[in-house]
Amino acid sequence: MKTNTWMAIAAAAVMTLALGNEARADSTSLLTMGLGSSVGLAHVVPVTGGSVNDVVSELNVRIKMLKVLGFDFNYNFAGENEVGHGEVYASSLRASALLYVVPTQVVSVYLAAGTGSSEFTDMFKASATKRSYHGGGGMELYVGRHLALSTEFLMLVPQVDRVVISSQPLKVDAAGSVDLSSVKTPSVTDYISADNFQVTFGLKWFF
């Protein structure tokens, strides 16, 4: 998995360099590749209640093409945590498609959406479990020919691969009967919520 991933990154780098030395961080290049890192926070409210905050520390590879399109690949060194009934909101590996809605030579704004997993090959398998999804946007501020500061906000959504009857443990009375008054079935909005998000700040070098 790791070998194939780095071979793909190396091939993209060679293709980028083959176009010449005119690649820039801003949106004037037809094809450019950026390497960087970012740090931030992932905040999740599980269906079981409470909240979980995790540190995000990512290595990032970004490919920009045709001035308005892009692809992101991120690896979170901090790993991933299961919450609630085993759901994963912030995966250790994340791939995103980017659309630059405001591409300029000074600052660019983009929309992002994609999927994540603990294994690269699982991100695109319909049968894979423990995947996550995300959507949001970000901004790049160009402080040099090749250097960009970036910030990104993503809403996090887990893949739910089991039927959860109650978000809280069921209570049993003295007679041994289940107290159905404690049943609280999670709804779609419990998993798809703006309360579950990741915000990062980073630095990227484009070539």
Domains of the chain, start order: 2-206 (2.40.160.20)
Give the C-alpha separation, 179 to 158, whole Å. Answer: 29
Mean pLDDT, residues 35-60 taken together: 90
Residue 18: which pLDDT band, with cuts at 50, 70 and 90?
A: very low
The verdict on pTM exceeding 0.85 is no
Q: Are 131 and 156 contacting, i.e. CB atoms less than 8 angstroms apart? A: no
Condensed to tens digits (0 to 9), the pLDDT of residues 93-134 reads 999 999 999 998 899 999 999 999 888 777 776 666 678 899
pLDDT at 175: 63
C-alpha span between 205 and 153 (Å, rounded):
20
Q: Which residue has the higher pLDDT, 4 or 19?
A: 4
**pLDDT higher than threshold 80 for residue 64:** yes
Per-residue pLDDT at 32 exceeds 80? yes
Residue 14 is given by DSSP the state H
pLDDT in tens, 67-96: 899 999 999 998 887 776 678 888 899 999
Closest CA to 45 of 156, 120, 136: 156
Q: Is the pLDDT of residue 189 over 80?
A: no
Average pLDDT, the chain: 80
| 193 pLDDT tier (thresholds 50, 70, 90) | confident
Q: What is the DSSP string of 51-70?
A: -EEEEEEEEEEEEEETTTEE
Kindly tell me if the per-residue pLDDT of 2 is higher than 50: no
Lowest mean pLDDT among 36-40, 135-139, 155-159: 155-159
